[in-house]
Amino acid sequence: MTSLTTNSSLPEQAVTELRQSLRGFALLPEDVSYDQSRAVWNAMIDRHPAIIVRPRGAADVMATVAFAREQELEIAIKGGGHSVAGNAACEGGMMLDFTDMTSIRVDPEKRVARVEPGTLIHDLDKETQAHGLATPGGFISSTGVAGLTLGGGFGYLSRRCGLTVDNLTSLDMVTADARFLQISRDRHPELFWGLCGGGGNFGVVTAFEFALHELGPQVLAGPVVHDFADAPRVLREVADVLREAPDEVSCLPVLRYAPPAPFIPEAFHGRMILLLAMIHVGDPAESEAALAPLRRIGRPIADAVGLKPYTAFQAMFDATANVGARNYWKGHYLSELSGEGIDVLCEHAGRMPSRESVVGMLSLGGEVARRPAESTPYPHRDAAWVLNVQARWRDAAEDERHIAWARETFDAMAPFTTGGVYVNFISGDEGAARVQAAYGDVTYTRLATLKRDWDPDNLFHLNQNIVPTSQAT
């Protein structure tokens, strides 16, 4: 396949035959649910597929991929629809919308969960926590499991349990030639390796299986809030504490405007703050002592750490990332959080032009760092922190202003970074070189060879694309 069509007038007979073959259903632009289905989280993305298929199983996906090839349509894949790059939607092509494939099956004895690709973190946490189990995944519970996993995935449990892909045990996938495969370390091991962080480049995943870990359901967790004026000093002390902290302690410092949350004094609402979201995921008897070094730093204006359900903590900041806003992200890895880098970061955060934007930085290390770099396509295991600059606003007329702030903050931090980037933090306009930086030269070359073997025509290219070796220049 040398070219793909943005086709606004599909053959009526072909569409009829596709619809008859599906357990799910296909939507055309005139159908009632079309606009709802084509919408994605980032309001900057407003695309109109020629047809949307909402499958209900792998057989539907196989039929859809075959149809897209026959009609020479681009394929966009929407799991949770949360990707900032907006690759879940396409203009004039085919959208696979997994909204109706959200089944989760937990086996508490084997400690595994089988998950369909439309599932959100919130759904997975609810099912696994019913058995006192969890797998690492995200900070906003409306995030889709599929996109998070295929990019590597980390969350509050990662220092103890590794990346999301470190806990992936098998997948079901439909290939570019519409075949169904079951994939694990024992079946198609090289493809399994590539799917553990190589994005949606190799096929359409229709099911994931994850290993689970004992957790909660009650955990000691919550935010500690500091005045923004104290942020440089507090961040230095936080970094010092986390260098020696046990793996069971995780902390996500966030620079942002204070929301009108009840745990923040009203006098600080709408002012810049430093919020430290922290959690202990080990022995409950050790939780108070484990979090004490972080909680006693500086002079907090609020401390809402307490025993709460893990699911509640995971969803605590969902309102800051709801649908309807325009979003643009830039990301870095840091080998350390210290010195001048903290000062530069706080200086640029202080120029934040939107009350909804944030600068977040997650402490890594622990089990993430102990895994061999070559064990997955995720190569940044030696990074101590991951930084995400999130510009978020509502008015399209202000796009340039907010994007410029994110880019300026990103550029100012460049001297203090490793040069790498987390593939799920790449916005849509950063180019092929930035995708290569997400993997490094050696890993990217291996992924490009794998892409050549499984998708030589680059059918699945609406992603952070890895170009097949045969097409690379």
- Cβ contact 331:423 at 8 Å: no
Burial 415-447 (b: 16+ CB within 10 A, else e): ebbbebbbbbbbbbebeeebbbbbbbeebbebb
pLDDT at residue number 138: 86
> What domains does the chain contain, in order, with CATH numbers?
12-100 (3.30.43.10), 104-214 (3.30.465.10), 218-425 (3.40.462.20)
User: What span, in angstroms and rounded, lies between the C-alpha atoms of 93 and 50?
Assistant: 5
pLDDT at residue number 5: 44
**358 phi/psi in degrees, rounded to 5:** -145, 155
Beta bridge partners of residue 307, listed in sequence order: 220
pLDDT at residue number 428: 77
pLDDT at residue number 319: 87
pLDDT at residue number 472: 56
Residues 6 or more apart whose Cβ sits within 8 Å of residue 252: 139, 156, 276, 277, 278, 360, 361, 362, 363
- Write down the residue that tokens 């996109």 correspond to: 147
User: What span, in angstroms and rounded, lies between the C-alpha atoms of 359 and 340?
Assistant: 17
- Nearest alpha-carbon partner for 437 in 460, 419, 412: 419
| Alpha-carbon distances, residue 126 vs 81, 130, 138, 169, 206 (angstroms) | 20, 6, 14, 20, 21
User: What span, in angstroms and rounded, lies between the C-alpha atoms of 106 and 109?
Assistant: 9
pLDDT at residue number 6: 46
Length of the chain: 473
- Nearest alpha-carbon partner for 106 in 91, 119, 87: 119
Asked if the peptide bond before residue 253 counts as cis, ω within 30 degrees of 0, the response is no
Beta bridge partners of residue 105, listed in sequence order: 114
Residue type, 383: A
Residues 6 or more apart whose Cβ sits within 8 Å of residue 406: 328, 329, 330, 357, 389, 390, 391
User: What span, in angstroms and rounded, lies between the C-alpha atoms of 91 and 409?
Assistant: 31
- Cβ contact 438:466 at 8 Å: no
Segments of the chain with pLDDT less than 70: 1-8, 471-473
Beta bridge partners of residue 327, listed in sequence order: 392
**274 phi/psi in degrees, rounded to 5:** -110, 120
User: What span, in angstroms and rounded, lies between the C-alpha atoms of 413 and 393?
Assistant: 22
- Cβ contact 226:274 at 8 Å: yes
DSSP of 11-56, one letter per residue?
Answer: -HHHHHHHHHH-SSEEE-TTSTTHHHHH--S-TT-----SEEEE-S
- Cβ contact 395:410 at 8 Å: no
Q: What is the pLDDT of residues 116-168, one digit of tens each?
A: 999 999 999 999 999 999 999 988 999 999 999 999 999 999 999 999 999 99
Which three-class secondary structure state does DSSP give residue 430? coil
pTM for this model (two decimals): 0.94
User: What span, in angstroms and rounded, lies between the C-alpha atoms of 67 and 82?
Assistant: 26
pLDDT at residue number 8: 54
Neighbours of 233 (CB within 10 A): 13
* Strand runs labelled E in 258-413: 272-280, 302-303, 306-309, 326-334, 358-363, 385-393
pLDDT at residue number 431: 87
Neighbours of 285 (CB within 10 A): 8
